[in-house]
Amino acid sequence: MSIDLSQFHQVFFEESFEGLQTMESSLLDIDCENLDSETINCIFRAAHSIKGSSSTFGFTEVAEFTHVLETLLDQVREGSRQLSQDHIELLLQSVDCLNGMLTALQSEQPVDTQQSKQLIEQFNCILNGSEPEAAASESASAKAVEETAQSKEVASEAASSISNGDITTWQITFIPDVNLLRTGNEPLRMFRELAELGELTVTAKLDNLPDLPALNPEECYLGWEMYLDTREDKQKIEEVFEWVVDESELHISVAGGLFDFEEDAGAAESLESAQPSPVVEVETPAEVVVKPEKPAVAAKAAEATLGPKETAKTSESTSIRVSIEKIDSLVNLVGELVITQSMLGQLGTEFDLSKLANLQEGLAQLEHNTRELQESVMRIRMLPISFTFSRFPRMVRDLSRQLGKKIELKLSGEQTELDKTVMEKIGDPLVHLVRNALDHGLETPEDRIAAGKPETGTITLNAFHQSGNIMIEIIDDGRGLNKEKILQKAIQNGVIIEQEQLSDEQVQDLIFQPGFSTAEQVTDVSGRGVGMDVVRRNIQELNGGIEVKSVEGEGSTFTIRLPLTLAILDGQLIQVGDQTYIVPLVSIVESLQPDMNLINHVAGGCDVFRLRDEYIPIIKLWEVFGEEPRSRELSESLLVVVEVGSAKVAIVVDELLGQQQVVIKSMETNYKKVEGISGATILGDGTVSLILDVTDLVQMAGDQQNSKNGLKLVSSKTWAA
């Protein structure tokens, strides 16, 4: 029977990656001084499982590598080796290496074994090092491997010799341990196997059989004397007894050859207490085995609880793991929807005006059902943010070692749920922010002590829900943002001019400008030119925002605001010409009728509008999209002030319509990317409405004006940031 093992590969990869994750987080938890046996067991099990299955599925590179890992872990587990910080470091590196190897295997790429070979070398150094016990155990296992290999060889040799082997008569004496039956071993099975090898003659030795009253039916008192005519060699015969040989007396010799009298004598001695056998007819030993009594175990079975259900494991890139609870609530809601539908259906067949109230009630019910259903469906896409947070303990640990800083990472709100797509895209910006906090934010232990702070710095990652948004905070208790340095740098880079008066908030906001890094040295960790501007842009692409609050000397808090989902948007419907557009509600600051006195025409063809003490550029939507507006007069239009990053712009529209939740349909999937448009949706009356991409729009308007005037607007750059 041949089975295609590759069908199990996907599951193997998933569980192995999961195992590696467990190993990593457990390794990070380990306290070398005070070893927790469950933690080390957990790591061992993960390595052991990966080794076992990778060898079964033929991933020998992985199996070989995990073997040394396992050996070391086993010694630690048995207490014969003290785990050191260096070991943990090495094990963590191995986890990374295994991750790499498995990823390569999964995508069917050749595996690079260079790193694993180096690591194996290092493990062997440790294993063969100072501790003799370790070396012994290693060589023992190596020997075991060798032996297996040898036995395989011998077996294959034996197999090949079958055809030309002569028939030999083997004499086999088998006296099993009295407890043989208690291990579920069955002498009949062995006879059957032997019979397959050739002609078998069996005689029972009844010397040990006690009197009937003294006979315990669960024990095996018999021994056997067998003659086997076979072409097979001794090895094959020994294999039959493989599981019982240690506890039994077994002699296999060529019949008629030289008897080993000494051994026989020994056997006889051990049978000293043997009584002369009573004449009992024993046909087969199986009859000696009396079926044991069965007390009421079945009753217990009913109480026994089922083990945890295995949820189907699925590949992350293409599928999603959903809790049964969520599915159940969905099924429930669909049920309600069906009820409402049938109610409305019935109403429709015999409708007259007197039932109008019922109809309205039914429609309200339908709306209610639909909304709940929608929310439930959306919830399926939600995953706890711990999926993203889980990578940070390791990262912080590695970086703090690298930077020579003492850092404690606190995570909270890990169960906060977030749309899967948002989650995937927020990972990199978060990594960047945490790296920054570690590198620029937190001081060295010496500096901290000098500043009268505890030696160990703290970074807190906190996630929570707030008014339909997800908020993620990255808080450090480091040196905070240095206003002077930021200003100096900003002036140096020409982001602002020297005379500009900026509030503290505005100064802090400067770090999100392109090309900004205040670290005195460009370090390994951050300051590679991928600045905070990229972080902000990434977050804005998710319809979110980021801001920073910092107190010099006390630390900084970065707050990221993200929408719960990317699939649905609260939108403001606006009218321009005869088109309806949608502006994401989150980006709208306010809408107003402009006072013409507050509008100024700036040189270069751009209008600005004074909103309290701010000057805001005006974007004419009809100009951008080539629409014919109801009126080109600003005084007859409305302004919708939207915020992009920290900059505001005012969009000119003909009319404000209602607000509603819209389901976003992708332009790229259905048509192609259109500048200034982030997607489309279908309105209640069936018309298609385009959703404005405010960030894009601002950029576009700036470009248009630039090209029109050949002038560079100083502020256009700032808006886009």
Partner 1 sequence: MAKIMAVDDSASMRQMVSFTLQGAGYEVVEASDGQEAFNKAQQGQVDLVISDVNMPVMDGISLIKNLRALPDYKFTPILMLTTESAADKKSEGKAAGATGWIVKPFNPDQLLNTIKKVLG
8 A C-beta contact, residue 426 and residue 472? yes
Beta carbons within 10 angstroms of residue 587's beta carbon: 21
Name which of residues 687 to 706 contact partner 1 (CB under 8 A).
none
What's the rounded Cα separation, in Å, for the pair 359 and 351?
9
For the bound state, the minimum distance from the C-beta of residue 643 to partner 1, rounded and expressed in Å, comes to: 49
Complex with partner 1: residue 40 or 474, whichever CB lies closer: 40
Residues that bind partner 1 (rule: CB under 8 A) add up to a total of: 62
Q: Which of 26, 53, 208, 369 binds partner 1 (CB under 8 A)?
A: 53
Of 299-307, 379-387, 421-429, 438-446, the window that binds partner 1 (rule: CB under 8 A) is 299-307
Cα distances (angstroms) measured from residue 261 to each of 268, 344, 584: 10, 97, 97
Task: Out of 37, 56, 160, 270, name the contact with partner 1 by CB under 8 A.
Answer: 56
Query: Which residues neighbour 162 within 8 Å (Cβ) at sequence distance 6 or greater?
Result: 231, 232
Helix axes 85-106, 114-127, angle to 10 degrees: 150
Smallest separation, CB 387 to partner 1 (Å): 20
Instruction: State the minimum distance, in angstroms, from the CB of residue 713 to partner 1.
Output: 59
Q: Which of 24, 61, 67, 70 is catalytic?
A: 70
Shortest approach of partner 1 to residue 77 CB, angstroms?
Answer: 10
* CA atoms within 13 A of residue 205's CA, in its CB half-sphere: 17
Q: Tell me the two tokens of residue 678.
A: 């982030």
Which 2-31 positions form the footprint of partner 1 (CB under 8 A)? 2-3, 5, 7-9, 11-12, 14-15
State in angstroms the smallest separation of the CB of 247 from partner 1.
Answer: 7
For residue 635, the 8-state DSSP code is G
Which of 48, 67, 87, 440 does the annotation list as catalytic?
A: 48
Catalytic residue of the set 185, 208, 369, 436: 436
Q: Does 712 bind partner 1 (CB under 8 A)?
A: no
Residue 425 DSSP code? H
**CB of 218 vs partner 1, minimal distance in Å:** 7
Comparing CB distances to partner 1, the nearer of 297 and 497 is: 297
660: tokens are 């509603």
* CA–CA gap between residue 579 and residue 588 (Å, rounded): 19
Complex with partner 1: residue 190 or 721, whichever CB lies closer: 190
Quick one: 192 or 601, whose CB is closer to partner 1? Answer: 192
CB of 228 to partner 1, least distance (A): 17
Take residue 571 and report the two structure tokens written for it. 């939108």
- Is residue 308 a contact residue for partner 1 (CB under 8 A)? yes
Q: How far apart are CA 570 and CA 552, in angstroms?
A: 37
Signed CA dihedral, 295, 299, 302, 303: sign only: negative
Q: Are strands 168-175 and 223-230 parallel, antiparallel or unpaired?
A: antiparallel
Q: Does residue 324 bind partner 1 (CB under 8 A)?
A: no
Span of 114-122, 144-152, 252-260, 380-388 interacting with partner 1 by CB under 8 A:
144-152
Three-state SS sequence of 23-75: HHHHHHHCCCCCCCHHHHHHHHHHHHHHHHHHHHCCCHHHHHHHHHHHHHHHH
Decide if 119 contacts 92 (C-beta within 8 A). Answer: no
Asked whether position 63 contacts partner 1 by CB under 8 A, the answer is: yes
Which of 31, 310, 352, 613 binds partner 1 (CB under 8 A)? It is 310
Q: Which of 239, 627 has the CB closer to partner 1? A: 239
Under rule CB under 8 A, residue 249 binds partner 1: no
Tell me the pairing of strands 407-412 and 249-254: unpaired
Compute, in degrees rounded to 10, the torsion defined by CA atoms 680, 683, 686, 687: -50
Q: Does 719 bind partner 1 (CB under 8 A)?
A: no
- Cβ atoms 472, 547 nearer than 8 A: no
Closest approach of partner 1 to the CB of residue 215, in Å? 17
Nearest-approach distance from CB 289 to partner 1, in angstroms: 7
When asked if residue 411 is in the footprint of partner 1 (CB under 8 A), the reply is no
Catalytic annotation on 48?
yes
Q: Is 81 in the site for partner 1 (CB under 8 A)?
A: no
Please choose, out of 242-250, 482-490, 559-567, 711-719, the segment that lies near partner 1 by the rule CB under 8 A.
242-250
Q: Closest distance between partner 1 and the C-beta of residue 186, in Å?
A: 8
- Confirm or reject binding of residue 208 to partner 1 (CB under 8 A): no
Q: In this structure, are residues 705 and 604 in contact, taking their beta carbons and an 8 Å threshold?
A: yes
At closest approach, how far in Å is the CB of 177 from partner 1? Answer: 10
Q: Rounded to whole angstroms, how far apart are CA atoms 440 and 550?
A: 13
Q: Which of residues 169-188 bind partner 1 (CB under 8 A)?
A: 181-186
- The binder of partner 1 chosen from 113, 141, 456, 659 (CB under 8 A): 141
d(CA 543, CA 537): 10
DSSP string, 567-615: SEEEEEEEEETTEEEEEEGGGEEEEEPPPGGGEEEETTTEEEEEETTEE
Nearer to partner 1, 58 or 257 (CB): 58
**168 token code pair:** 């030999």
- Residue span 214-233 as binding mask against partner 1, x where in contact by CB under 8 A, dash where not: ----x---------------
472 binds partner 1 (CB under 8 A): no
Q: Is 108 in the site for partner 1 (CB under 8 A)?
A: no
Are the CB atoms for 260 and 251 separated by under 8 Å?
A: yes
Eight-class DSSP state of 182: G
Could you say which of 258, 304, 497, 596 contacts partner 1 (CB under 8 A)? 304
User: Could you say whether residue 294 binds partner 1 (CB under 8 A)?
Assistant: yes
- Going by the DSSP 8-state scheme, the letter that residue 290 receives in this structure is P
588-592 β-sheet, strand order = 588-592, 638-644, 647-653, 614-620, 606-611, 599-602
Q: Does 154 participate in binding partner 1 (rule CB under 8 A)?
A: no
Among 57, 170, 389, 719, binds partner 1 (CB under 8 A): 57
Report the catalytic residues: 48, 70, 436
Instruction: Give contact residues for partner 1 (rule: CB under 8 A).
Output: 1-3, 5, 7-9, 11-12, 14-15, 42, 44-45, 48-49, 51-53, 55-58, 63, 67, 70-71, 140-141, 144-145, 148, 181-186, 189, 192-193, 218, 242-243, 246-247, 289, 292-295, 297, 300-302, 304-308, 310, 313
